[in-house]
Amino acid sequence: MSRKPVHLAVYDTLADWETGHATAWLARDGYEIRTVAADSTDLVTTIGGMRVKPDLTLAELRPEDSSLLILPGADLWDTGDDLAPFARTARAFLDAGVPVAAICGATAGLAREGLLDDRAHTSAVSFYLAATGYKGGERYVDADAVIDGGLITAGPTEPVAFAREILGLLGAFEGEKLDAWYRLFHDSDPAAFEVLNS
């Protein structure tokens, strides 16, 4: 069965550690990972200094051509409106019934876009999102990762929980295998390795 690619947003100051588990395991499961920049395919530099050559721009991205849009955190989410086009793209994806996953600062961008007003969600801490002036404070959940209405959210310290929700949503792992994957990478449970590889 042919699968649509997973699209990973890339921009300067992207937090390298937040999406690696998700993208690596999706790729191992047969998903093509394509990187998307705002308006140029010039190199972007992550917060860790890695240089990434984007595959396409937001203008070229269509929800119907994607399995998922992943929005990593980045310093730029909190220093201006440079990344607002990614939040608007997330709205288009959700409106089209295509899931979105946002972690760390990307959750604040989605809050500013109004996408967390009517969905259960999480982030670093509740007051971080409250500072955006959004109207969804009562829907905030103090959890590692939350999925609601096709939107996955997580805080910056939870890349493994974030990946678990993504892998489960896209069927890379299910049931006992998904639980084992999480126990192995989150809890360092050696017994989980045997279950995962059985």
Give the C-alpha separation, 140 to 159, whole Å.
18
Mean pLDDT of 164-179: 96
Tokens of 14: 């992207």
HSE-CB at 53 with a 13 A cutoff on CA atoms is 0
**More confident site: 34 or 198:** 34
Give the C-alpha separation, 13 to 159, whole Å.
17
pLDDT score, position 198: 84
Q: What percent of the chain has pLDDT above 90?
A: 96
CATH placement of domain 6-172: 3.40.50.880
pLDDT score, position 2: 64
Task: Describe the chain by its helix, strand, coil percentages, rounded to 5.
Answer: 40, 20, 40
Q: What percent of the chain has pLDDT above 70?
A: 99
In what helix (H) or strand (E) does residue 23 lie, and over which residues does it extend? helix 20-28
**In this predicted model, what pLDDT tens digit does every residue of 88-125 receive, in sequence order?**
999 999 999 999 999 999 999 999 999 999 999 999 99
- Any idea which residues carry the catalytic annotation? 104
Range 161-173 burial, b when 16+ CB lie within 10 A, else e: bbbbbbbbebebb
Q: What is the dihedral of CA 172, 145, 15, 71, to 10 degrees?
A: 70
pLDDT tier for residue 10 given thresholds of 50, 70 and 90: very high
pLDDT tier for residue 166 given thresholds of 50, 70 and 90: very high
pLDDT score, position 41: 85
Tokens of 28: 């191992």
Mean pLDDT of 168-177: 95
pLDDT score, position 185: 96
- How does the average pLDDT of the chain come out, rounded? 96
Judged against a pLDDT cut of 90, whether residue 83 lies above it is answered with yes
Give the C-alpha separation, 167 to 159, whole Å.
12
**In this predicted model, what pLDDT tens digit does every residue of 34-61 receive, in sequence order?**
999 999 889 999 999 999 999 999 999 9
The DSSP result for 139-175, as a single string, is GB--SSEEEETTEEEE-TT-HHHHHHHHHHHTTSS-H
Judged against a pLDDT cut of 60, whether residue 1 lies above it is answered with no
User: Model's pTM, two decimal places?
Assistant: 0.96
